[in-house]
A and B are shown apart, each in its own frame.
Chain A
């Protein structure tokens, strides 16, 4: 069974650019959530995708957008990058869209640095 994978591992961009991060969910999982983790902080929920539709969103501006594909892999797109977007971006997959006790399986993350 393949776990959650993310690409790229590291990325350096300049302010104002756009970036796309990718996530492959664990086999059998149809739900993907994205989190932003600033240095020294806990992860913050960005949004969740379930069956190719956005299924909930945290307190992030519209320049953070996403996609989920028929194979349940997902992309996180960030436009007009700002310095504060520098963070570890974590993807998590699960088998359902959000039962209270549902375990989310996290990938290794993508470290984004905005200069």
Chain B
């Protein structure tokens, strides 16, 4: 079974508008962390935002916010005021307590975002 599911292979958004990228996850661990990364065409994975399973409030980092709905096991990324430079591949990832101290990240398939001028 997929641990991380990103159902949107591709998304378009108009410059300056907000966009939501979907992510659902599957784990039986009570403690886990959820991450979003941006991967431009250059290949490097850029960390955007983190949400811990016990965090009471949704994480925010500048124009990025994470809509965390624990009961629904979803962790959607919201990008406000989209910019042309936001065009990239976006990955949702999870780290489970059962991974021990390996630091293993489990990634979804990714969503390609294109920002239109």
Check B105 against A55 for contact (C-beta < 8 Å): no
B residues in contact with A96, CB < 8 Å: 101, 103
Contact with A along B21-39 (1 / 0, CB 8 A): 0000000000111000100
Closest to A33 in B: B103
**Which of B32, B43, B103, B109 has a CB less than 8 Å from the CB of A56?**
B103
Check A43 against B103 for contact (C-beta < 8 Å): no
Check A56 against B102 for contact (C-beta < 8 Å): yes
Check A100 against B32 for contact (C-beta < 8 Å): yes
Q: How many angstroms from the CA of A99 to the CA of B96 in the assembled complex?
A: 10
A residues in contact with B33, CB < 8 Å: 100-101
Q: A56-B102, A88-B43, A97-B101 are in contact. Are A42 and B108 (CB under 8 A)?
A: yes
* CB of B107, distance to nearest CB on chain A (Å): 3
- A-B residue pairs in contact (CB < 8 Å), sample of 25: A31-B103, A33-B104, A35-B105, A40-B109, A40-B110, A45-B105, A45-B106, A48-B103, A55-B103, A56-B104, A58-B104, A90-B45, A92-B45, A97-B101, A97-B103, A98-B104, A100-B95, A101-B50, A101-B52, A103-B47, A103-B50, A104-B47, A104-B103, A105-B47, A106-B46
Q: How many angstroms from the CA of A14 to the CA of B57 in the assembled complex?
A: 51
Cβ of B4 < 8 Å from any Cβ of A? yes
**11 additional A-B residue pairs with CB within 8 Å, beyond A33-B105, A103-B47:** A41-B110, A43-B105, A88-B43, A90-B43, A92-B45, A96-B101, A98-B102, A100-B33, A101-B52, A106-B45, A107-B44
